[in-house]
Chains A and B, each alone.
Chain A
Amino acid sequence: MRGAQSAKWVALAAVVALAATACGGGDSDSGSNDMNKGSADPNGILTAQLSEPQNPLQPANAKESQGSRVLKQIFAGLVDYEPGTGKLVYVNAESVTPNKDSSVWTVKLKPGWKFHNGETVTAKSYVDSWNWSANVSNNQTNSSWFQDIKGYQDVHPDKGKPKADKMSGLKVVNDNEFKIELNSSVSYFAYKLGYDVWAPLPTGFFKDPKGFGEKPVGNGPYKFVSWDHKKLIKVRKFDGYQGPNKAKNGGIDFKNYTTADAAYSDIRSNNLDWIEQVPTTALTNYKSDLGKRAIDEEYSAVQSVVPAFYTKQFKNIDPKVIQGLSMAIDRDTITKTVLHGSRTPADSYVARGVIGYKAGALKEQVTYDPAKAKALIKEGGGVPGNKISIQFNADQDHKPWVDAVCNSIRKATGVDCVGDSKPDFQADLNARDKHQVKSMYRGGWVLDYPVNSNFMRDLYGSKAAGNTSGYANKEFDSLAAKADKAATLDETVKLYQEAEQVLAKDMPAIPLWFYKVNSGQSNKVLGKIPYGQDGDPIFTDVQVKKK
């Protein structure tokens, strides 16, 4: 009997071992599949990963990435950005021009554009859409995007019911032209217009916004076909589309996946053409699993550690101390080992690919130098209590790098450092909003629009809504205000670069690294899938191989 039992074990082990080796062999085969071979099928259908969008598909209601991914295909806005450089590209707009002090903008539309139901896209389609979306009683999560426009306060008061249903700053000149008057000068206003919220809406929308959210009608490169909840969203090429980004494939099937693991196993077996992000467990081996089909792309987002300036510990801290802490973090090693190359060390407050990003804006501050770090902290009077903690949410994969950062700080400076784990993102946000962070917290920022102001004013302005650390610096505030009022975009960008140097001295946050997309594509896709700066593929440019 003993013998029989051990034989069983051996057999079991053999099965597992065989399976494991078979796996290695099979995968390298699929990896060598040449993705540039073959010709494109203009009507080929692409399949892509998606989780269930949280909200109905209304352009101003997609705060999360999933709904936004679909909306971006169905709607075409006034402008878009050139991938890589972030330069403005006109889509539905013929021109967007400011007056002298950038407080009144004139938008001219390309005539003859149609919604998918045949209705013509006019200036009114835009103005009505914005007025509706900005209205507080329509509960659109992105309504604050309209706050630059004059009269926003009337449709979106801080408290109570709206006083008007139209913003006074929006004026239709004729079918193809309208004017936007702003509360104050914003030299980069045209750049904001690339976001989903600024999409036009057909008249049918206002009759039944809710029903429209289930069956959206847009003006974009793809038209909406069906939404089978939690299973599939189908969009197909719109033949009447006149924009520069015409679809090079026949359409997209967005398939629902509950976990990254599930999606990953489908991309390995070529059941799916694109996944959002490989699961953390596969980060070490996805490149050997997928071969050339692996995607490794940087996008414009930054992660940092932020001191809570309202705590006793950091209230009157000498910035030298934070600089010292920053220099005690070995970014190169951590991104390579703990994060498996899925991030690149940050060298500025502004993410790469954004207009105004300056390579090496932070130099010393982000260079690992334990001796200097120690000296700086000592010079600055040391860390009160000689101990810091980094708050993070445990429902995402933050613990490994938080531990690594802490280790690095502890080893280099002798300052004790521990992770302060909150069970989930909600609890983490709660502590940040209520100013209950004990010492430092994890911060992150993905671009809204590719101008450096987005990475500074919205985070470190003393009155910015995104400023949850209590940081305030008058010099920075006045520079930012000056930059917003500047006559040209170049000037604005330059002034913000100056402002970044103020931040470099003050260290309101310790930038750690820029994000990367680690993803994969199937062997049915021709060539590499191109990416935009927001970390999402440019689906219209993806080509499907002819079968």
Chain B
Amino acid sequence: MGRYVARRLLQMIPVFIGTTLIIFLMVHVLPGDPIRAMWGDKAADPAQVASLRHEFGLDQPLWRQYIDYMVNLFQGDFGKTFGGRPVSEEMGMAFPVTLRLAAVALTIEIIVGIGLGAWAGLKAGRAVDTGVLIFTLIVISMPVFVLGYLARFIFADELGWLPPNVQNSMDVEQLLLPGFVLAMLSMAYVARLTRTTFAENLRADYMRTALAKGLPRRRIIGVHLLRNSLIPVITFLGTDVGALVGGAVVTEGIFNVQGVGNLLFNALGRREGSTIVGVVTVFVLVILLINLVVDLLYAVLDPRIRYA
């Protein structure tokens, strides 16, 4: 197990270097000079453009910029924004917000998704099952922004239960609505996945054995069935955390959440390489680590799985 973890951690190094290099190249391939664009429609001042390009190291050859960036990165320096603020500070403000939002979404996903799926799976083929099926179908087929505006319209503008916009991105109560919207899509998948494995495992041999042993129903479903059915769901949730962290761009935009999605979106608009590469670097790390955790969780859930 220890060796497995060590090997997996070592594998992250080339993946990390590869992804940062690709992002770095991609940012630089995009047309348009970020410094020139600060002047917009108006005429730029060539001397000032040159001076600013020098300040941000954009006058160096690309390979040099990349090496400089990596060297600084290993010293914990993510560079600075065009406004002169350290990128690490910007990320330090954005990531806690997005992680909070993702946590809210994930909690809703787990509770509602697995709950709905289990309910439908236990009553497979009956009205409840069909109801859940239709509900999830509707949710899956609806784009996030439609869902977002609809949710805000109904719950905030009309019913007045929740504030329409997030004023304080660190307040979990204000994050409920965006978290709910963010969770909706994956929640539908979780529900469907859970429903199917539940329905399948209901007919499995160990279920019959447990039943024959005379175990109470709560224990059969709560321990035997649930634990065995969760493996595919956990895999999905694992990959989904990455998607939640990265995919919050639309939701964050609609609900005025000052998270990573917004940071990335604005940085892209400004071609602010340092911020883009920095954010994506952290994304890559988060996703790599979560995948590792998911793989390790398999072994916990299913003792038959062993890592050497």
Contact = CB atoms under 8 A, between A and B. Distances in A.
Interface string A389-407: 0000001000000000000
A39 interface: no
A23 interface: yes
Contacts of B47: 136, 156-159
B154 A63 contact: no
A426 B37 contact: yes
A8 B252 CA distance: 31
A8 B134 CA distance: 10
Contacts of A19: 153-154, 158
B33 interface: yes
A54 B164 contact: no
A258 B256 contact: yes
Interface stretch (A261-269, A376-384, A413-421): A261-269
B98 to A, nearest CB: 13
B165 A265 contact: yes
Interface in A1-55: 1, 4-5, 8, 15, 19, 22-23, 52-55
Contacts of B84: 55-56, 210, 213
B157 A265 contact: yes
A11 to B, nearest CB: 12
Contacts of B85: 229
A425 interface: yes
B8 to A, nearest CB: 36
Contact of B152 (A159, A230, A265, A427): A265
B258 interface: yes
Contacts of B40: 63-64, 425, 429
Nearest to A427: B31
Contacts, number: 150
A426 B50 contact: no
B167 A255 contact: yes
A1 B168 CA distance: 45
A427 B256 CA distance: 27
Contacts of A239: none
Interface residues of A, number: 65
B246 interface: no
B205 interface: no
Nearest to A138: B51
Among A266, A426, A445, chain B packs the most CB atoms within 10 A around the CB of A426
A100 B52 CA distance: 39
B115 interface: no
Interface stretch (A198-206, A342-350, A458-466, A524-532): A458-466
A259 interface: yes
B254 A230 contact: no
Contacts of A257: 165, 256
Nearest to B252: A258
Nearest to B272: A54
Interface stretch (A73-81, A117-125, A139-147, A487-495): A139-147
A141 B38 CA distance: 8
A425 B269 CA distance: 8
Contacts of B256: 256-259, 262
B304 interface: no
A213 B81 CA distance: 15
A537 interface: no
A156 B46 CA distance: 10
Interface string A421-448: 0101111111101000000000111101
11 contacts: A63-B39, A159-B50, A230-B93, A231-B258, A256-B256, A265-B165, A425-B37, A427-B31, A433-B36, A464-B43, A466-B43
| Top 4 A-B residue pairs of the complex, sorted by shortest distance between their CB atoms | A426-B32, A465-B43, A466-B43, A262-B256
Interface of A: 1, 4-5, 8, 15, 19, 22-23, 52-56, 63-64, 136-137, 139-141, 143-144, 156-159, 210, 213, 229-231, 255-259, 261-262, 265-266, 268-269, 271, 395, 422, 424-431, 433, 443-446, 448, 458, 464-468
Given A141-B45, A427-B30, 9 more contacts: A4-B131, A15-B154, A53-B83, A55-B83, A56-B84, A156-B47, A257-B256, A265-B156, A465-B44
